[in-house]
Amino acid sequence: MQDPSTQGIIIFIAGISFLLLLFISFIVTIVYKYQQKQNNYFKDIEALKTSHENAMLQSQLEIQEQTLQNISREIHDNIGQKLTLAKLHLNTLTYDDKEKTAAQVNDSINIIGEAINDLSDLSHSMSSEIILNNGLIKALEYEENQLKRSGLYEIQFATTGNPVYLESSTELVLFRIVQEVLNNIIKHASASSIQMHVHYNEADLSIEIHDNGKGFNLVENMKGTGLQNIRKRTALLNGNLQISSDENNGTEIKLKIPLYENKPVI
Amino acid sequence: MNTLNNAVIWIGTGVIIISFIISLVFSKSNKAYMNGFFFCILIGLLLSINGICSKFLFLYSIETCFFIQSTLFLLDLLFWTLFFLKLLKDARNHRIIKILFILTLSFAVYVLYYNSTNKSNLHVLALLNICKTIFCILFYHNLFKNISDQNILLEPSFWIVNGLIFYSCLSIPFYGLSNYILLQFSLLIANNIFSISNMLIIIMYIFFVKAFLCKTHLHKA
């Protein structure tokens, strides 16, 4: 028979040991379960990242394809026509009438000069070099100058906030979105004024493009390839796109993308 | 004289003093919930000193001891409520914590100050510990709901909540069945059984020290 004090100590030690054991198992279970869930979380993140990278690659390929189509169309419709005209001028040189011949040669020189300028513009516009070397803002400024040079539009471009350099692939997709919007304005809007505003917030970047053209019916034109491309590329950048347009009241496009969630690869 | 019980009380006071010093030394933290954490340890220290005074100072009246103890219990609950409000961010958890706090506090104030000031307040302590256990369960629920890339073993909150749930959950039967234990066992054995709950407090403070050391580990990294 043990005395009460020994019995008490045994109860104490047994009690504490049991409770500690119980609690250590509890902590181990919690940590194990948490790490299991964390592994699943990492796997999900990895899968999302891979799918994002695939979508980005897909988009890059589409952009390349579209760029080639644009180049081909420009060469065929514009530069090709000019060179054909220059060739025609040169083919019809008679050399009898020196003044006429000189005028024809001068015309040909001018036409070839225009074709060279067009080629240079096309090359700059389609190349991603400007984005890679100078960033999005410089590329947009270049687009602004191009439009100004055409003399067809009154264009205002403003940048506010503290510019942040994004991944070049993200900037390229953004630039192509803006180019698509500007192309749509040039082709369909019959606008005389374009306003572009880029604003860098702390967490996101917003781009607003507004024209005073004839506008369009959103419901009828929503499935157009141009708008679909814009939507798809915005979604790829985890962005948010708002288009508002009234017939004869111009169109406004607002694009917002998070600054720190886009880490795509080319 | 129960030497085991006394040894646990003195060791406990020592551990609380050490953790209080550590909490003061590492009081600056980038974690909002860690700011002012030494108040919790200060409350524990005062509770311990109050217990020692009632045990060894014969002039220290039992009424004064119970009054101070009850007030410190309520302050402790208030501290943990604020701690979990800082730790858990979503509105639903905040609502649950606030409702639980108000209900527990109302009941505890009624029992401690208007009903049985001179009797043992261990039943109320069991109730307060149930409340704190629920707070801890909310923390675990939140932890598993919002999985992130953080290493929980380096998170002070994980160790603090582990320590708290260890003490508050496992001590509920001791405090809840205090009358039964005192009736069924001899005073010596009953004291030894209550020493187990005091030991749980010591282990809880060791977990708090671990939480502060986690913080220094992070600072070095």
Q: Which residue in the set A5, A15, A30 is minimally distant from B140, CB to CB?
A: A30
Give the helix ranges, DSSP H, for chain B.
Answer: 3-25, 38-56, 62-87, 91-109, 122-145, 156-176, 178-184, 187-220
| A261 within some domain | yes
Other CB atoms within 10 Å distance of the CB of residue A125: 17
- The percentage of residues in chain B with a pLDDT greater than 90, rounded to a whole number, is 23
Question: What's the domain range around A199?
Answer: 130-266
Please give the residue of chain B at the shortest CA–CA distance from A17: B196
Q: Which of A34, A45, A48 best probes binding to B when mutated, by most B CB atoms within 10 angstroms?
A: A34
pLDDT for residue A74 is more than 80: no
| A32 within some domain | no
Count up the domains in chain A and report the number: 1
Q: Give tens-digit pLDDT for A144-196.
A: 888 888 788 888 999 998 888 888 778 888 888 898 888 888 888 888 899 99
Give the span between the Cα atoms of A7 and B163, in whole angstroms. 28
| A34 within some domain | no
**How many CA atoms does the CB half-sphere of B131 hold within 13 Å?**
28
User: Which pLDDT value is given to residue B221?
Assistant: 43
Please give the residue of chain B at the shortest CA–CA distance from A9: B192
| A25 within some domain | no
| A236 within some domain | yes
Q: Which of B196, B197, B204, B210 best probes binding to A when mutated, by most A CB atoms within 10 angstroms?
A: B196
Band of residue A2 on the pLDDT scale cut at 50, 70, 90: low
Give the span between the Cα atoms of B107 and B91, in whole angstroms. 24
Band of residue B95 on the pLDDT scale cut at 50, 70, 90: very high
The lowest-confidence range among A48-57, A100-109, A198-207, B208-217 is B208-217
Q: Give tens-digit pLDDT for A215-261.
A: 887 777 766 667 887 888 888 888 899 988 887 788 999 999 988 76
pLDDT for residue B136 is more than 90: yes
Q: Give tens-digit pLDDT for B171-199.
A: 888 888 888 888 887 777 788 788 888 88
Interface of A with B in 58-97 (CB under 8 A): none
Q: Which residue in the set A4, A34, A38 is minimally distant from B188, CB to CB?
A: A4
Q: Between A80-91 and A98-126, two packed helices, what is the crossing angle to 10 degrees? A: 160
Q: Which residue in the set A8, A40, A42 is minimally distant from B192, CB to CB?
A: A8
Please give the residue of chain A at the shortest CA–CA distance from B2: A5
- Residue A21 touches chain B, beta carbons under 8 Å: no
| Cα three-residue angle A72-A78-A81, rounded to 5 degrees | 110
Contacts of A11 in chain B (CB under 8 A): 189, 192-193, 196
Q: In one letter, which amino acid is B51?
A: G
| A176 within some domain | yes
Q: How far is A264 from chain B (nearest CA, A)?
A: 20
User: Which pLDDT value is given to residue B160?
Assistant: 92
| A96 within some domain | no
pLDDT for residue B90 is more than 50: yes
pLDDT for residue A4 is more than 70: no
Give the span between the Cα atoms of A70 and A77, in whole angstroms. 10
pLDDT for residue B118 is more than 70: no
User: Which pLDDT value is given to residue B179?
Assistant: 81
Contacts of A18 in chain B (CB under 8 A): none
Q: In one letter, which amino acid is A247?
A: E
Q: List, as one string, the DSSP characters of A165-227.
A: ---HHHHHHHHHHHHHHHHHIIIII--SEEEEEEEE-SSEEEEEEEE-S----HHHHTT-HHH
CATH number of the structural domain spanning residue A139: 3.30.565.10
Q: What's the average model confidence in pLDDT over A106-110? A: 89
Place of tokens 């954490």: B37
- The percentage of residues in chain A with a pLDDT greater than 90, rounded to a whole number, is 14
Average pLDDT, chain A: 83
| A31 within some domain | no
User: Which pLDDT value is given to residue A5?
Assistant: 66
Contacts of B200 in chain A (CB under 8 A): 19
